[in-house]
Amino acid sequence: MSRWARRFVLAIVFGVAGFDIVSGIRLLTVDEPWLLAGYATSWNALPATVRADGGVRAFVAGPYRRVGAFSLHTGVVTLVWAILARNDRRLLTVLLVVYTLSGVVMFSVDWAYTRGTGYIVLKQVIGTLWAMAVMAHLYSASAWRRRA
């Protein structure tokens, strides 16, 4: 893999890992995690009396904290995997493929619940950057094989 392609791919992977880490920390630490990431649309659709109920707020906070823990974990694992794969084309390929497949699933869930928000636009930008990283990685690998 060429140096520019590896740096480009790793910069995007590190950026996505950082985004996941920050998102996870935010979901774990804010008082109303349902107001982050465009989910306010679903929350605000509830009647005001339901939104004000302390039991409902505590019940709803649980899944958001769990998503935050998962996001933090995913970001850390991605970062470690990328560091270990930085000089191993096959391992980096596996990372890109696994995260592409899981990313499509995650995006479909985000699309269902945050359509029409700035968050889904951000996720589309991240997805586009990820696709560019995959293309750069695969193109660089095919160019490397042609030279051999």
Note the pLDDT of residue 117.
84
- pTM listed for this prediction: 0.85
Whole-number mean pLDDT of the chain? Answer: 89
- Rounded distance, CA 49 to CA 57, Å? 11
* Confidence class for position 37, pLDDT limits 50, 70, 90: low
- Rounded distance, CA 43 to CA 146, Å? 54
Span 54-72, pLDDT tens digits: 999 999 889 989 999 999 9
Question: Is residue 51 within 8 Å of residue 109, measured between CB atoms?
Answer: no
Span 99-147, pLDDT tens digits: 999 999 999 998 888 888 888 899 999 999 999 999 999 988 775 555 5
